[in-house]
Structures are given as C-alpha cells and as structure tokens.
Amino acid sequence: MSQVFRRYTQSFSKDTALPVQYDWDDWHYTDYFYFDTADLRLRFESLSDLANRGLVIACAEYIAARFWPYPDPPEAVAFFDAAWVSMIDPEACDYAILTQEDWAGPVRGVLRAAMLVVNDTLFDAREDLDYAARSCWIYNLARYVMPQDHLPRFTEWFDICVARLSPDWNTPLQTGGMFNPEFDLGPPTAPGNFILENAPFKPESARSDLSRHVSSLSPENPWLPEADHT
C-alpha cells in the first residue's frame, strides 16, 4: 500500500470523514470535475508528463484517504498502487474498466471517478499528451469532495507538491520533431515525494522510492498484469 494513502488517512478522523456533505449524481458525475481554466492549466503545463501523472495518482490517493472509514478505498488503492509502477514500466497496470452499477453513490462513485482520471493518465494521455488536463480534473474532484474544514489543508498540500515538482520535473525539451513516436515523459515521480515530512526528492531519489514501493506490493494485486485473477 502506497505511503501517500497511509500517511493522509491520519488527517481525517471518523467525525471529519463521516458523513459526506456534497451532492453526487451518478448520471452527471463528470459535471463536478471535468473542466479546466487557463489559469489552472498554466500551473501544470510547465511540469513534465510523468510529474503530472504522479500528481494525479497522489491526489487520487489523498481522495481515497479522505474516505478511509468506509469499506471501499482498498479496492481503489490497489489500482493506485499498480499505477505507480507505470512510472518505470508503462505496461505495469491493467486498464481500468469500472461499471457504473458497481461503483455508484457518493463514495464509490467518487473513487471510481478518481480511478478513471488516473487511468486516463496511464493510457489516454499517451495518445493526446494532455497530461495537464488530468491534473486539473483530479484537483477539481478533490476540492469538491473534501470536507470544508479540511479544504485549506488539502490546498496547501497540493500547492507544496506542485512546487516540489517544479525544479526537477519541468517539461523536457523534445527532440526529433512532431513525428517522433517516442516523446520524453520526463523522469519518474514516486509516492514519497508527496509526503511533506520527507525532504523534496531528486529524480534519483524517486527511482529508489519506486523500487521500495514495487517490492512492497502483493503479487495478488488484481491490477498488476501478472496477478492471478482467478
């Protein structure tokens, strides 16, 4: 289990997390987060693609941590655990197919939305290269579902995470022109870089942290391609 989820469950007491206090319509759920603005996009467009992916996964785990008293987050966290491995192996996480009927309601529906945004950074964004849009979506979703008294703390955490990425995870200069089939996504990011008690990482620190994360995963994680799905 990623250290991001473990660390930020500590930020939410049961009284803070229960009950949910926002509207949720499963048939129009994208209205709550599926948008961006020029100012918001500007924050993420200077970051590399993998920096945006890491930001999205970490933010999704923060959303899962917000719901820790419910029985549902472990299913989503298993997916986020596998998604981190994509930093060093693009094929390490299976494509998420999540039926709305199985993921309905103001908790499971939100977790499904977070998983689908992460899934977008793993697959769809490799086609359109608009990683910044996914950072906008996950940020909007997180702000929408955070308890109001926790929202300033979340916003501060997110702002610091973006600032931590800026020095070493800027958009890399692409070579080979627009027809180059291999775009440089930048160095990987890792869960530990999103724990504010940790010193800010350098790319080499991220690789070490990812190695520790990979070694901690259960081989039965259903989102790992080699897992036993029986």
In a domain, 179, yes or no: no
User: What does each C-alpha distance from 30 to 55, 141, 189 come to in angstroms?
Assistant: 20, 9, 27
Examine residue 199 and state whether it is found in any structural domain, yes or no: yes
Token output for 67 = 């719901």
What values do phi and psi take at 23, rounded to 5?
-75, 150
Q: How many domains does the chain have?
A: 1
Given this model, what pLDDT does residue 183 score? 57
The pLDDT tens digits along the chain (230 residues) read 788 999 999 999 998 888 899 999 999 999 999 999 999 999 999 899 999 999 999 999 999 999 999 999 999 999 999 999 999 998 899 999 999 999 999 999 999 999 999 999 999 998 898 999 999 999 999 999 999 999 999 999 999 999 999 877 676 544 444 444 455 577 899 999 999 999 888 888 888 999 999 999 988 999 998 754 33
**Apex CA 88: angle with CA 84 and CA 91, to 5°?**
80
- The predicted pLDDT at position 230 comes to 35
Residue 61: domain span: 3-18+28-173+185-216
Residue 228 resides in a domain? no
- d(CA 4, CA 7) in angstroms, rounded, equals 5
Q: State pTM to two decimals.
A: 0.92
Distances (CA, A) of 122 to 17, 38, 68, 93, 192: 29, 23, 25, 8, 20
Q: Answer for the pair 213, 1: CB distance below 8 angstroms, yes or no.
A: no
Would 224 be classed as within a structural domain?
no
Q: How far apart are CA 107 and CA 21, in angstroms?
A: 11
